[in-house]
Amino acid sequence: MDLLERATVMHFHRHRIALHGIESVQSMGWRALASQRSRFEVIAQAIDAADSTVLDVGCGTGDLKQFLDERFQGVSYLGIDQQPEFIAAARARYRGDDSAVFIEGNADRLALPRADVVIACGLLGYRSANPRHVFQTIARLFAATQRTLVFNVLDQRHFPSDHPLLVGRDLTEVEAFCRQLCADVTRVDGYAVDDATFVLRM
């Protein structure tokens, strides 16, 4: 994403924070808590994060960390997000928890550290003028994983094509690209009308 696109995303979230408060799931763009939780459930079912390092790219305020801690022991978590308000809230929320680290930065430019499990929940929903951006990002995420990559995308068959910020993807194209990276690819859908999750296992 270019500078203007990143600024547009940041402005969108600042507007949502002003409307709903930093602690709300709506500030991160979710319609409701149930929408976020359904995606987290799919992620948790796809991975084994026990005694593992987890990289959460586009982590928001760190909701996924708490969700994983409720299901797995020994999660060592690193969250990355470009939104300074989210990172500040996450650091305050997990102050004193040595298993949680949060970095403010643009995931397109940061050197992503390697982790057992890499997760991107919501990251790939934003529009970009670069038609290859989604595939370039998937490749970068996959390069960082040592075991499992899980990410979700909006399904263009059901997501409105005129949304000013978010965009649906062709799931067949996304799956075909993933199979160029990895032989073990699973697509999970049915948990939401307009969303699909891809799981790539090394």
* 174-182 average pLDDT score: 97
55 versus 131: which is more confidently predicted?
55
Q: What topology is assigned to 3-201 in CATH?
A: Rossmann fold (3.40.50)
- Segment 130-143 mean pLDDT: 95
In this structure, what is the dihedral angle of CA atoms 87, 89, 90, 96, given to the nearest 10 degrees? 120
Distances (CA, A) of 180 to 28, 135, 176, 199: 31, 11, 7, 14
Domain boundaries, the chain: 3-201
Tokens at 140, concatenated: 């970068």
pLDDT at 99 over 80: yes
Is 52's pLDDT higher than 90? yes
Residue 52 near residue 74, CB atoms below 8 Å: yes
Mean pLDDT of 20-32: 79
Alpha-carbon distance of 16 to 35, in angstroms, equals 16
> What pLDDT is stored for residue 32 in this prediction?
64
Q: Which residues contact 22 (CB under 8 A, 6 or more apart)?
A: 61, 85, 86, 89
Looking at the predicted structure, is the pLDDT value of residue 31 above 80? Answer: no
Q: What is the pTM of this model?
A: 0.94
- Say which range, 9-23, 63-77, 139-153, 163-177, has the weakest mean pLDDT: 9-23
